[in-house]
Amino acid sequence: MTRQGPEGWESLVEAASEEVAGVARQARQAARAAIPDATEELDVSARLLAFTFVPGTYKGLVAGLVLHTRHVNLMFGEGAELAATHAAGALLEGTGKKARHIKLTAPEDLQDPRIAELLKAAAVRVRERLAGQ
């Protein structure tokens, strides 16, 4: 993972459309509020702002924001497990073995309280996994 501070994220956001930039900024605030003890790291090539408990690797990844042309994906590194076990898991999209995401197209999408619930639940899962290693 490329280590860059949040200022690198803002450069990516500024290059996005006004709509995507607004969603990205709101999503970052939501993630920071839900998991304030996570470290933010930027992977420039993936256009990913990661919220992690183990900087420098994806090992401690809780969630990430990925910029796309018309939306922002709120990605959960252990989303498949959340989708199967958490009441709000129905929000998660994708078919990968581990990761799932929520496609955000408007800042209002983040008003759904289930998103904060999923972020907090993801943080608990990652903490528990790391504690068991």
Instruction: Quote the tokens at residue 130.
Output: 């790391």
Cα separation, 121 vs 32, whole angstroms? 14
pTM of the model: 0.92
C-alpha R_g of the chain: 14
The whole-number pLDDT of residue 43 equals 87
Please give the pLDDT value at position 52.
94
What pLDDT does 6 receive? 64
Closest of 49, 23, 13, 128 to residue 81, by C-alpha: 128
**48 near 64, Cβ under 8 Å?**
yes
**Per-block average pLDDT, block size 10, for the chain (133 residues)?**
66 93 96 96 89 90 96 96 92 94 96 96 95 86
| pLDDT score recorded for residue 118 | 97
Please list the residues that pair with 103 across neighbouring strands.
73
Alpha helices, DSSP H, located in 1-133 = 6-15, 18-34, 79-85, 113-131
Residues 6 or more apart whose CB falls under 8 angstroms from that of 24 comprise 13, 16, 65, 67, 72
